[in-house]
């Protein structure tokens, strides 16, 4: 309305006065268009806030929460977090280069899966399994892994079997790099799950293996267990290749039974409370 009011007042002028007033008003309007509105320079904090707002819109919080979740689960599995160790939200956010919101979501999810517990006044900490929980966990793993091998013997493709042989060979040739051994061993078993082509079984094994992360892969460092495990893996793959469903399930169950035995021996030797 500010630009309209001068134009209305000019309607009462005559002749040259009206022309001069019109030119003056037009000049003022052009000057307003050419002169940008002056604003105080943005502070570094304000610039950073605008950048983070843009970043939040371009990256979905859920995907970052998944990234944090998987990173923490792997760290627990690989033994980088000890049982009972406190997990600080701010430390994780700084380490992974994310905000605290996806970290909070990931920690809550890890708690729901049983990998973390909340201690009064201390926040989140890595869970510790009781003796019964460990036995129950291995009992379920034996059943599910045996079923996965059985289904894989029935449904695995030639390409999937070739990958299993490749992973088994890589595991056999790997030295004593804990991270490499843990990663390869998980990939080997995961590929059997996928070769089973049973979505429901796959989802159950995913939940189970989250809990297995609490046990960490200590047995892979035992020289005797490493060699024996290679033999057991090869038996499983050969049974799957032959389509021997009974043989594949039996070999997989035996593999888990031996892993449980070695783990119990490890804890007994180190006088560690299960």
Identify the pLDDT of residue 274.
Answer: 44
pLDDT band at 28 (very low <50, low <70, confident <90, very high): low
Structure tokens belonging to residue 49: 């806030």
Q: Highest mean pLDDT range out of 56-70, 115-129, 136-150, 163-177?
A: 136-150
- 89-to-110, 122, 130, 225 alpha-carbon distances in Å: 13, 11, 26, 36
Q: Give mean pLDDT, residues 90-110.
A: 93
At 89, give phi and psi (nearest 5°). -60, -45
**Rounded-to-integer distance, Cα 65 and Cα 73, Å:** 12
Contacts of 98 (CB under 8 A, 6+ apart): 64, 67, 68
Q: Is the pLDDT of residue 183 over 50?
A: yes
Task: Tell me the three state secondary structure of residue 179.
Answer: helix
First to last CA, the chain: 79
pLDDT over threshold 90, residue 106 = yes
Q: Is residue 244 predicted with pLDDT exceeding 60?
A: yes
CA distances from 71 to 66, 67, 172 (A): 8, 6, 26
Whether residue 209 is predicted with pLDDT greater than 90 in this model: the reply is no
- Of the candidates 119, 90, 118, the residue with the CA atom closest to the CA atom of residue 104: 90
> Do residues 86 and 130 make contact, with C-beta atoms less than 8 angstroms apart?
no
* Structure letter (DSSP) for residue 119: E
- Whether the predicted pLDDT of 206 surpasses 80: yes
Task: Please name each of the domains of the chain with its CATH number.
Answer: 54-126 (1.10.10.10), 131-269 (1.20.120.530)
Beta bridge partners of 8: none
**Whether residue 51 has pLDDT greater than 80:** no
* Confidence grade of residue 78 (pLDDT, cut at 50, 70, 90): confident
Query: Residue 145 pLDDT > 90, yes or no?
Result: yes
Q: How does residue 68 score in pLDDT terms, banded at 50, 70 and 90?
A: very high
Residue with the bigger pLDDT between 130 and 6: it is: 130
pLDDT of residue 191: 97
Query: What is the reported pLDDT for 128?
Result: 87
What per-residue confidence (pLDDT) applies to 220? 61
Let me know: does 205 contact 264? Beta carbons within 8 Å.
no
Q: Is the dihedral of CA 197, 201, 203, 208 positive or negative?
A: negative
- Spatial CA neighbour of 262 closest among 234, 227, 220, 230: 220
pLDDT at 18: 47
């Amino acid at each position: 309305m500010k630009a309209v009011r001068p134009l209305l007042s000019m309607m009462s002028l005559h002749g040259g006065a009206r022309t001069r007033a019109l030119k003056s008003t037009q000049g003022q309007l052009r000057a307003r268009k050419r002169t940008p509105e002056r604003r105080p320079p943005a502070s570094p904090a304000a610039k950073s806030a605008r950048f983070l707002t843009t970043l939040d819109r371009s990256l979905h919080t859920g995907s970052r929460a998944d990234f944090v979740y998987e990173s923490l689960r792997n760290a627990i599995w690989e033994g980088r977090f000890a049982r009972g160790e406190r997990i600080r939200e701010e430390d994780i956010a700084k380490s992974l280069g994310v905000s605290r919101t996806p970290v909070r979501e990931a920690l809550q999810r890890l708690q729901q899966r049983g990998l973390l517990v909340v201690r009064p006044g201390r926040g989140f900490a890595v869970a510790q399994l009781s003796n019964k929980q460990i036995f129950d966990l291995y009992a379920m793993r034996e059943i599910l892994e045996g079923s996965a091998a059985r289904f894989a013997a029935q449904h695995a493709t030639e390409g999937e079997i070739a990958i299993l042989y490749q992973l088994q060979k890589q595991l056999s040739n790997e030295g004593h790099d804990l991270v490499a051994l843990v990663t390869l061993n998980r990939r080997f078993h995961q590929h059997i799950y996928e070769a089973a082509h049973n979505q429901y079984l796959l989802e159950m094994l995913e939940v189970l293996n989250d809990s297995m992360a609490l046990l960490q892969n200590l047995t892979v460092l035992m020289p005797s267990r490493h060699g024996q495990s290679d033999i057991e893996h090869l038996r499983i793959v050969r049974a799957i290749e032959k389509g021997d469903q009974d043989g594949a399930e039996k070999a997989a169950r035996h593999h888990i039974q031996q892993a449980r035995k070695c783990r119990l021996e490890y804890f007994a030797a180190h006088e560690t409370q299960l």
